[in-house]
Structure 1
């Protein structure tokens, strides 16, 4: 039996419902693509969708059925030669003799049924719960990748069925900073978190100096002021690495912006719309975020500062000990608290969703857009790779930066204040923006 980290047991019926929900989302995000788009162009920032669908299935096949359940054979012969992301070079994924789309979807159905047949009545054990959730959350992450791939390739906006009426969202901006007194903070996920990725461990105490952080992310209107002030033309605002990126990209504004007869327009999937001035700026790289900060006399928060602002509760003497699992408390919340799960198929104004405020007064710390931080992606003290050894460890020395908070396309079930995302600082295809701190 493989070794798995401690995880809270989950009822079998909940595990099946979780998988079926993730699968329904995968099909919603890919099922309407015409035949010529099932492979798509060979770009460094996307995968061919038909390959990626098979890779999602292979992850279940490999980690749950092969490693956890001990099946000697994959559900299709030599599946690892086709779908192992660490074994198949990125550029080769367009050139493989892949199964047809129908056969690929059949592969996913076969795996799902085989997995469900192996669950017990009632509660699954901790190891089964861990591996099952790991695979579902992996599919969720690819669902977000399918979403921003559609944006990259100017495909139509996906049609996502919301389970119920979504909460109303206030419009407008929200300005000002929150003063955080600093002090001791436990960075990372404690044992009481139901599921933890390896890069969230181990929880450890650090000291954070007092700081001031914006109540909301930078808006499109605020970023437009930077663009219109010549921010993309002046290397003084950019790091040497960032300016080299800007010159090679030849951008004069965020990648999905253009100047229209009535002002700035922003491409949302396959259509152009007038800029939403009070929505968060999105699809910007860390380099662009840093350049804005230099222009504005601000800076990006570290991930420790971000987490402290998102999770701590004020007291008469500073901050209460401990931290919340979510900005609004310890329960997962719903559409009143955060714009997640893809149901709105886009961002909302930064003034919206006040019920999701952190106890310290920061809004939209979860959902809407991922937020770049100033922190490089690095292991926490005591890091040990979990079952999916390639999830974090290969990227610690790869120059990646930490993003926090999730986006409108992130699934709520694997998102909390400990969640760390990590990408190269030049990636501007992500649903990512930023908030700032006072210098």
Structure 2
């Protein structure tokens, strides 16, 4: 499970190739433009991934002299809000690319020379390198979301996702009892995924698949956006203030609903998971459907718990890294795949598409696991605990396989929907069945 140096170098290369794809796809003017106040200019993300690599791999792990210490403050995400970043004296695209190349050459030299030993926490299992791989892939997904928000002709392309299976519907019973949540063993797990701990989860029902566009359209057609009884107080207030009437990027035109995807307008596909909905929309749909959103612990138990062995798997299908047969990950496609497209990726109890396609909102706020310890810096997780966030699980079609697993925890504000977010529902058992 722990990658060797050659595998780490290959993962670093894969991340950089994706960064290049996303930034080479547009001209310098578009790289420097802010396509939404929610997002950084692409050129900021480009240099930021290099700056983080320099800070952690070149300076910290490698003990080398700084490459560009003078730009650290420009690419500190905590010093400058996204809306303010276009006004900063950022590196231009050519400078940013040269900077990334310089840093990468030094980082690979560091990788070649260091020992990946347990005595040094940053090097144990190659953690620092894995952190940088995941960081760049996370920004690649953010840049992909920026591409979705840009206007103009399409610049990205990918083959269509595989077909689905309309038989994958209904609910799965997850038996009650304790399971192991979190991890102590995954070498690249981040601090908020640790430590492993037992959680007793009462029996519940969970949807076999994410909620689809067709199912969500039934909520719209039933007047779900106009009926306050389905919405929480905060959700209804946000629905009114933001003027929500459908998922982000949906367009109503002659012939029905359409969806703008990366510069192309296509008819909404009924059997694909709904995407670009905020937590409040997901919560309202679940209420309308007579259900609720799963808790984070319920989601993880459904994704990881193997009833035959009693252990928690790394992924729903097992411990091996995701392949193209398991899940829609890594920007191989530019859409969620239809429900039932990945039978090989189902959990032991028959829950499908828990990895990839869409990040799934849970009802849980973002808090540390019992026994949490900061590593290697508080700004990754600790400063966000207890804020106005909801946890999302499972990754999306834009998430790389190196940056997600059954324990991975994402979080965002409940109003956010520029992310590739969807959901599935859960519900309690009837008292006579519990």
Residues 1:256 and 2:245 aligned together: no
Deviation (angstroms), 1:121: 6.5
What is residue 399 of structure 1 aligned with on the other side?
388
Distance 1:418 1:323, change over 3 A: same
Deviation (angstroms), 1:171: 4.6
- Cα deviations by residue, 1:43-102 (Å, 9 ceiling, x for unpaired): 442011111111111000111112222234x21241212111122343331111122211
What is residue 133 of structure 2 aligned with on the other side?
136
Which whole-Å CA distance do the structure 1 matches of 2:103 and 2:70 have between them? 15
Give the total of aligned pairs. Answer: 423
What is residue 207 of structure 1 aligned with on the other side?
200
Aligned residue among 289, 294, 311 for 1:296: 289
Residues 1:180 and 2:174 aligned together: yes
Distance 1:90 1:275, change over 3 A: closer
Which whole-Å CA distance do the structure 1 matches of 2:276 and 2:339 have between them? 16
Matches within 5 A, 1:270-419: 270-315=263-308, 320-419=309-408
What is residue 3 of structure 1 aligned with on the other side?
none
Deviation (angstroms), 1:209: 0.5
What is residue 92 of structure 1 aligned with on the other side?
84
- Cα deviations by residue, 1:164-183 (Å, 9 ceiling, x for unpaired): xx995435362111011110
For the Cα contact (< 8 Å) 1:173–1:349, is it kept in 2?
no
- Cα deviations by residue, 1:140-186 (Å, 9 ceiling, x for unpaired): 00000001111122455554679xxx995435362111011110111
Structure 2 length normalisation: TM-score?
0.93
Distance 1:434 1:155, change over 3 A: farther
Matches within 5 A, 1:64-103: 64-72=57-65, 74-103=66-95
Distance 1:15 1:160, change over 3 A: farther
Other structure's SS at 2:260 match: strand
Which whole-Å CA distance do the structure 2 matches of 1:77 and 1:430 have between them? 32
For the Cα contact (< 8 Å) 1:169–1:353, is it kept in 2?
no
Which whole-Å CA distance do the structure 2 matches of 1:160 and 1:68 have between them? 37
Which whole-Å CA distance do the structure 2 matches of 1:189 and 1:156 have between them? 44
Which whole-Å CA distance do the structure 2 matches of 1:293 and 1:118 have between them? 50
Which whole-Å CA distance do the structure 2 matches of 1:90 and 1:363 have between them? 35
Which whole-Å CA distance do the structure 2 matches of 1:260 and 1:82 have between them? 43
Which whole-Å CA distance do the structure 1 matches of 2:241 and 2:167 have between them? 33
Which whole-Å CA distance do the structure 1 matches of 2:152 and 2:417 have between them? 17
Other structure's SS at 2:225 match: coil
Greater mean alpha carbon deviation, residues 108-117 or residues 93-102: 93-102
For the Cα contact (< 8 Å) 2:389–2:412, is it kept in 1?
yes
Which whole-Å CA distance do the structure 2 matches of 1:150 and 1:302 have between them? 31
**Unaligned residue ranges in structure 1 (runs of 5+):** 1-7
What is residue 421 of structure 1 aligned with on the other side?
410
Deviation (angstroms), 1:190: 2.7
For the Cα contact (< 8 Å) 1:172–1:352, is it kept in 2?
no
Deviation (angstroms), 1:132: 1.2
- Cα deviations by residue, 1:293-341 (Å, 9 ceiling, x for unpaired): 11111100001111111112234xxxx4211111111111311110101
What is residue 22 of structure 1 aligned with on the other side?
15
Other structure's SS at 1:120 match: helix
Matches within 5 A, 1:37-186: 37-41=30-34, 43-72=36-65, 74-120=66-112, 124-125=116-117, 127-128=122-123, 129-154=126-151, 159=156, 168-172=162-166, 174-186=168-180
Other structure's SS at 2:111 match: coil
Other structure's SS at 2:322 match: coil
Which whole-Å CA distance do the structure 2 matches of 1:122 and 1:36 have between them? 40
For the Cα contact (< 8 Å) 1:337–1:353, is it kept in 2?
yes
